[in-house]
Amino acid sequence: MKFGVVVSEGPYTHQAADTAYHFVVAALAAGHEVPRVFFYHDGVNVGTRLSVPPQDERNIQEQWSALAREHGIDLVICIAAAQRRGMLDEKEAERQGKDADNIAEGFRISGLGQLIEMGIQTDRLVMFGD
Amino acid sequence: MSTLHTVNKSPFATGSLRSCLAHARSGDAVLMIEDGVYGATAGTGLSDEIAAAARGGGIGIYVLGPDMAARGLDAGRVLDGVITVDYAGFVDLAAKHDRAVAWL
């Protein structure tokens, strides 16, 4: 079965990004497919490569990047939510005249169309938020 | 069409568990996750109400075990009729029901 996953809460807030991660790991272990995870609202902050959590603590962004690398998951960050929160890829930083970008490996910025497409192309949509 | 409902806030903080139980239909499942697991503990002011929901109405009531453990709530404190699952069980519930609704 194909699962689509939405994360709408920021990292290190309550637990949504962690619960979603464990859900995806378990779904893949059970032989299901998770083609895409959509990061929405404050959830977009998961995708910054500039976070530096304490070394003895989980690094939520790195966990997601590694999972995407190993399983080919498309990690999509909502562009409208991203722009409000200072999340920029190289192209957007240039377009907006900003001096830096911060998107982590495996994440990409795109639009709500990707959420709709995920809803159409997967069997179940599971939301994790606040 | 059956639904998996997930509730991630304590019933002592928000009304989402109560609303969810009132909306769930026979054949549905309600899974308490994150702070929602407080709803699955015995000996609270809401225990009778939640246990009653677990007994009647054909609704399956579940709790995510790892989130109980993370809060120091041992398995012995789970209400009668509430089934403890792990993340694999969460995935199974999402697959088994036609849709998943998060009570955010």
Q: Residue B54: what pLDDT?
A: 84
Question: Is A26 in contact with B99 (Cβ distance < 8 A)?
Answer: no
Q: Dump pLDDT digits (tens) for A62-90.
A: 999 999 999 999 999 999 999 999 999 99
- Dist CA A68 CA A104 (whole Å): 11
Residues of B in contact with A1 (CB under 8 A): 95
Q: Is B7 helix (H, G, I), strand (E, B) or coil?
A: strand
The DSSP output letter for B80 is T
- Structural domains in chain A (count): 1
Q: Residue B102: what pLDDT?
A: 98
Chain mean pLDDT for chain A = 97
- Which positions of chain A have pLDDT values less than 50? none
Type of residue numbered B42: A
Mutation for testing the B interface, residue in A19, A34, A40, A67 having most B CBs under 10 Å: A19
**Is the pLDDT assigned to residue B57 strictly greater than 90?**
no
| Nearest residue of A to residue B9, measured between CA atoms | A130
* Domains defined along chain B, listed by start: 3-103 (3.40.1260.10)
Over residues B6-12, the mean pLDDT reads: 97
Q: List the CATH number of the domain containing A65.
A: 3.40.1260.10
Over residues B82-93, the mean pLDDT reads: 98
Residue A78 bears catalytic tag = yes
Among the listed residues A78, A81, A103, A118, the single catalytic one is A78
Over residues B78-101, the mean pLDDT reads: 97
On whether any CB of chain A is under 8 Å from the CB of B86, the answer is yes
Q: Measured between CA atoms, how close is B86 to chain A, in angstroms?
A: 9
**Is the pLDDT assigned to residue B98 strictly greater than 90?**
yes
Question: Is A26 in contact with B100 (Cβ distance < 8 A)?
Answer: no
Type of residue numbered B101: V
Q: Residue B55: what pLDDT?
A: 86
Chain mean pLDDT for chain B = 95
Q: Which domain holds residue A104?
A: 2-128
Q: Residue B68: what pLDDT?
A: 97
CB pairs under 8 A between A and B: 57
Residue B81 buriedness (CB in 10 A; 0-12 / 13-18 / 19+): middle
- Dist CA B88 CA B86 (whole Å): 5
Q: Residue B59: what pLDDT?
A: 96
Q: How confident is the model at residue B94 (pLDDT cuts 50, 70, 90)?
A: very high
Could you count the other beta carbons within 10 Å of the beta carbon of residue B33? 26
First to last CA, chain A: 26
**Is the pLDDT assigned to residue B7 strictly greater than 90?**
yes
First to last CA, chain B: 21
Q: How far is CA B89 from the centre of its chain?
A: 13
- Dist CA A110 CA A73 (whole Å): 15
**Is the pLDDT assigned to residue B27 strictly greater than 90?**
yes
Residues of A in contact with B33 (CB under 8 A): 19
